[in-house]
Chains A and B, each alone.
Chain A
Amino acid sequence: MKYMIMTFGSAEAGVAAMGREWMLEMVKFMQQLDKDLKDSGELVDARGLADGSQAKTVRIKNGIPVATDGPFAESKESLVGYWIVDVESEARVIEIASRIVDYVKAPIEVRQVMDAPPDF
């Protein structure tokens, strides 16, 4: 079963709230986590996204799609990175997510990737 694990916020806000040391430790933690997930044969993909302030939002204006600068949501609601893992069970992905939450200290979201078998 594949799941996407998503973290939200921004590096800047993280450093402001938790301090520089925390940030350095966090980087180490992330590297270790990626390594562990590779070693366990569960990692499908992991990416960090550029800061939400660099985002463009595309919306329809006067019937034409127009791109404007800036994030759509507040920074704490902005996606900063994700992992896609292929695991044996939901319990396992919760275990991985719990490890991340322990470090990030902010809620993260876990969503199943739609590649399960249909049942009829």
Chain B
Amino acid sequence: LSDEPRIEDLLRELAPQVLGMLVRRHDQFDACEDAVQEALLAAALQWADRGVPDNPRSWLITVASRRLVDEWRSESARRRREESTAVLELAVADQAVSHDDTLTLLFLCCHPSLSVPSQLALTLRAVGGLTTAEIARAFLVPEATMAQRISRAKERIKSTGMKFDLPPESERADRLRVVLHVLYLVFNEGYMTSSGISLHRADLTTEAIRLARMLYEIAPGEGEVAGLLALMLLTEARRPARTDADGWLVPLDDQQRDLWNTAQITEGVALLTRTLGKFPVGPYQMQAAIAAVHDEAPTADETDWPQILALYEVLEQISPGPVVTLNRAVAVARVHGPRAGLALLGTLDTDERMAYTHRLEAVRGHLLEQAGDLAAARESYQRAARMTASLPEQRYLTLRAARLD
């Protein structure tokens, strides 16, 4: 039994390598992916029982290849003659791991022509090696729904004739941005999403960090990959303090900082130090740098807000948008006082992109409260509570408003 977590970790690590190898050889993502999932299930059962084989990757390739052959056998006799010999040769050869395969796999699962929910689901299954049932549980949908989503995504890959190749250099930066965004969403889904009961679904954050770490090992020369991994680590580090014993949200200022995970903070900061200034600066690196300033402050009062404000100014230059402006307003308020922050918030009132988000009103509520305008603060909190689709946040904002009655 003590071997079980190790087997699971091993399988998840090997999943994209085995799949990448098979797809590179056969160019049939759909069939190969099914075969690898079956091989992973078989391994999970057999290895727990009889121990891990000497060469686990080879084992998986052999079993997955057999499934493929079985599949083709039932498909057509012609195919079988052409393919089965080749498949078995491959299994025996057990070629060296190619990092490019795993990277190509990520690019394929995060192809811009797939919908975002499909990109997330497919990445977790094909690259993360999670089962459909695990992914369905994580996203709180029925397994049949998730199975259908994955199968449609695979059909789309097939029907649009996407090739198992790295994108050309000219598209690479854009495509990498999509991959990073998908990993970021997986992390957020785990870190922040709530079914109303639990605020945190650790499996998804762990998985997102694992995938980001894997990507960083494959592509250490991409500053934004390092930035995203650092951002995840520096954010995840605060998780133990983010809710109280009753499951209520605790804002950053009130968090018990000795609960923060120092190992993750150290790793995140070290990663950031190695990265900043050596690569073109990007939004993930800047967000990680901001998270690091928070994480390194021994108390909320000792937070280096001028530094955070300077970082938000850089972030706004490289990646402008209303949400960045909103966050900058928080920093402006800390450095120059709540009225200065409120003035900057005012510039967002006519921004249509902010019309449907509660965030503007939530921040305004906090700043009005700090400025001593309690009646207006209460109204802002109440408006924000009505607009949010997050249950813990709604409770938090409603209470915040009630406190000012």
Contacts and interface: CB of A to CB of B under 8 A. Distances in A.
Interface residues on B, range: 35 or more
A113 B199 CA distance: 15
Give chain B's interface secondary structure class: helix
B145 A115 contact: no
Interface in B113-157: 115-118, 139-142, 144-152
Contact of A119 (B146, B149, B359): B359
Contacts of A113: 389
A107 interface: no
Interface string B206-242: 0000000000000000000000000000000000000
A118 B145 contact: no
A117 B196 CA distance: 11
A116 B196 contact: no
B148 A40 contact: yes
Nearest to A116: B389
Interface string B342-362: 000000000000000011001
Contacts of A1: 389
Contacts, number: 85
A117 B394 contact: no
Interface size class of A (residues with CB under 8 A): 20 to 34
A20 interface: no
B299 interface: no
B19 to A, nearest CB: 21
Given A86-B139, A88-B115, A88-B116, A41 B192 contact: no
Interface string A30-58: 00000000111111110000000000000
Contacts of B188: 117
Contact of B192 (A42, A43, A112, A117): A117
A38 B193 CA distance: 24
A82 to B, nearest CB: 15
B390 interface: yes
A115 B148 contact: no
A16 B189 CA distance: 47
B393 A118 contact: yes
B5 interface: no
A54 to B, nearest CB: 27
Contacts of A39: 148, 152
A40 B152 CA distance: 7
Given A41-B148, A41-B152, A118 B252 contact: no
A115 B146 contact: no
A114 interface: yes
A115 B390 CA distance: 5
B195 interface: yes
Interface string A49-80: 00000000000000000000000000000000
B145 A42 contact: yes
Given A40-B152, A118-B388, A86 B195 contact: no
B396 interface: yes
Nearest to B359: A119
A115 B117 contact: no
Interface string B67-80: 00000000000000
Contacts of A2: 140
Given A115-B391, A116-B389, 11 more contacts: A41-B145, A41-B146, A43-B145, A44-B140, A44-B141, A86-B141, A114-B389, A114-B390, A117-B192, A117-B390, A118-B199
16 contacts: A40-B152, A41-B145, A41-B147, A41-B150, A44-B140, A44-B145, A45-B142, A86-B141, A86-B145, A115-B194, A115-B195, A117-B194, A118-B388, A118-B396, A119-B393, A120-B252
